[in-house]
Structure 1
């Protein structure tokens, strides 16, 4: 039995999963790659806007560019993996291969749980500043939306297991 029967707006789970794959590919994967490359190419300006004060814990001088390079290189790596996972999702939905959906489900669910926790931590540590409260609320809303999208794709995975799309 599937978790959800229909996607939002009463569309089919297959269509919804395909749309979610394309949206996540464009909105998360491509945007993260562009931001990471831009920040790596403009590292001086990026260091002025972002503070890497906790880099001392890892033995990195906070005045050097090493922390920024490491952070954006990791961001680029995660974004590249996410693009590959999104392409697997799109191909899995098109070919009805349910095991190609699993990497996207796991990767996205873990990312959204971490983002949800980050939103809650932002709200807890806001100290009454309006910008932190707004950012925390936006992150929580986005996280809840992507957790729902994960439930939609997981429902399509279950529907393929039950034989609803053969």
Structure 2
């Protein structure tokens, strides 16, 4: 019962959860590719953190590709893989935002981290709701 409390019926634009999940996937892919490019640029300019971000962005791009595949083929396990890893990303983003504010007093950067976490949370709600709709489709066939 508590599981169904956080399920959406449509995406914010009024489109279906499937279309909303595809929009989330495409936006995530575009942002991941931009992040990858910026991280490579940072790494080539001597910023060691840039190379760590390259690895993170590559993993995110792979997970988005799995999400797109899961949506296209209606494979719930691929959709859920993206949901769970993005949940971990949100937790890390919130902690990073807290550390940025506390350690460097860069409040605006910390606020940006929190804003990103809020947007990612909505993305998870859309994709998780789509996943739940896939599960409800799979249940009758398993009996």
The TM tier, using the shorter chain, reads 0.7 to 0.9
The separation in 2 between residues aligned to 1:82 and 1:153, in whole angstroms, is: 15
Deviation at 1:155, TM superposition (A): 0.8
Partner residue, 1:133:
107
The separation in 2 between residues aligned to 1:40 and 1:126, in whole angstroms, is: 22
For these two proteins, the number of residue pairs brought into alignment is: 135
Deviation at 1:75, TM superposition (A): 1.7
The ranges of structure 1 where at least 4 consecutive aligned residues each deviate by more than 4 angstroms after the TM superposition are none
- RMSD over aligned CA atoms reads 2.0
TM-score by length of 1: 0.73
Residue 81 of structure 2 corresponds to residue 77 of structure 1 = no
Would you tell me which structure has more helix in proportion to its own residues? 2
Deviation at 1:120, TM superposition (A): 2.8
Long gaps (5+) in structure 1: 47-67
The structure with the larger Rg is 1
Partner residue, 1:60:
none
Secondary structure at the aligned position of 1:10 is classed as coil
Long gaps (5+) in structure 2: none
